Amino acid sequence: MIWLTWRQFRGQAVVALVALGALAIFLVILGLQLRNVYDANVGCAGCSVESGAQLLKDKYFSVLLLTGFLIILIPAVIGAFWGAPLVARELEAGTHRLVWNQSITRTRWLAVKLSFVTLAALAFTGALSLLFTWAASPYDRALNDRFDPLFFPTRNLAPLGYAVFAVVAGITIGLLTKRTVIAMAVTLAAFTAMQILMPTVIRPHLQGPITENVQFTAVAAHGIWTNPAGQVSVEGYDVPGAWMLTNEAKLVDSTGAQPSKAVTEVCFTGDFAKDKACLEALNLHSVLTYQPADRYWTFQWLEFGIYLLLALLLAGYAFWRIPRGLS
């Protein structure tokens, strides 16, 4: 059965290896470049870590963001092109009636196919994730924002969870729809939905976030603005390495109430540095919510675990379904 699975998968494997080779070359070059820039601007004696990090961000934010999207896109593509057709194409072409009448049970047939392709997807995505995590590590060290939702899913364990989920979802959806193209579309839709739900609805609540009352300081604020009612908002309070759930915080006074318009309005003169100093003198606070940096690995494992669990549930359904006849 392993031979047959390999024989049917061979063509896709060759395409995948070519793609992996090209991506690996790109990632290695990217990683080496980043290391050079890092050594010259951040890791050097007497360099300003802050301006070095800013330089890295200016030069590499876009390319790392886009490559990160690619790292997430690959499990989706794998799910649609490896997972979805695995059973659906057999049902569509009627060849299941050939293979299911060899001396092998359907359960075993599915077990071998599913394991084989899932392992292949894990290996492929794992290699890419490893390379990308390595390539981006100087950037992550300097900027310390790998917990950010834009970067979190692209590094370390998370992509592996996506790959397993995508493949198994593709297989199970194919078993249900019995049509390859429909299965591919539904798989992509399901994958996308999960990618939206996870960072917005599920991931922030995996552990209770930390809420902190922070004194407003001129140094930490990147942007301040006020609305007509005199409510002042501040942007850019960063807890190092943390995932900030509060992007713009409203400033309150020591009693927790909104300061009156008369009090804050005098601080908005148009001179950014002076305005910040003026607000600092008012002894204002903001309430920040975030997931601290030391939870990064817990969250990676939880992300991986949740997707793995979903994959197991879907696989369980497929194994329950397949011996029961298809119509």
Q: Given the rule CB under 8 A, which residues bind other proteins?
A: 1, 3-4, 7-8, 11, 93-95, 97-106, 108, 324-327
Give the chain's length.
327
* Closest separation in Å from C-beta 113 to other proteins: 13
Cβ-based neighbours of 197, under 8 Å, separated by 6 or more: none
* Closest separation in Å from C-beta 182 to other proteins: 20
DSSP 322: G
Identity of the residue, 1 or 308, whose beta carbon is nearer to other proteins in the bound complex: 1
* Closest separation in Å from C-beta 82 to other proteins: 16
Coil, strand or helix at 249: strand
Identity of the residue, 91 or 190, whose beta carbon is nearer to other proteins in the bound complex: 91
* Closest separation in Å from C-beta 97 to other proteins: 4
* Closest separation in Å from C-beta 321 to other proteins: 12
Identity of the residue, 99 or 239, whose beta carbon is nearer to other proteins in the bound complex: 99
* Closest separation in Å from C-beta 160 to other proteins: 30
Euclidean distance between the first and final Cα of the chain, in Å? 25
Six-digit token pair at 3? 């031979």
Distances (CA, A) of 239 to 67, 143, 145, 214, 322: 26, 12, 10, 11, 50
Q: H helices of 79-197, where?
A: 84-93, 96-99, 106-143, 158-177, 180-197
* Closest separation in Å from C-beta 327 to other proteins: 6
* Closest separation in Å from C-beta 7 to other proteins: 6
Identity of the residue, 7 or 294, whose beta carbon is nearer to other proteins in the bound complex: 7
In this structure, how many other beta carbons lie within 10 angstroms of the beta carbon of residue 133?
Answer: 19
Identity of the residue, 95 or 217, whose beta carbon is nearer to other proteins in the bound complex: 95
Identity of the residue, 228 or 324, whose beta carbon is nearer to other proteins in the bound complex: 324
Six-digit token pair at 210? 């930390």
Identity of the residue, 13 or 63, whose beta carbon is nearer to other proteins in the bound complex: 13
Angle, to 10 degrees, between the axis of helix 106-143 and the axis of helix 84-93? 150
Q: Is 264:188 a contact under the CB 8 Å cutoff?
A: no
Identity of the residue, 179 or 261, whose beta carbon is nearer to other proteins in the bound complex: 179
Give counts: helices (H), strands (E), the chain. 10, 6
Which pairs count as long-range contacts for 32-38, CB under 8 Å and 24+ apart, including other chains? 34/60, 34/135, 34/136, 34/138, 34/139, 35/138, 37/138, 38/138, 38/139, 38/141, 38/142
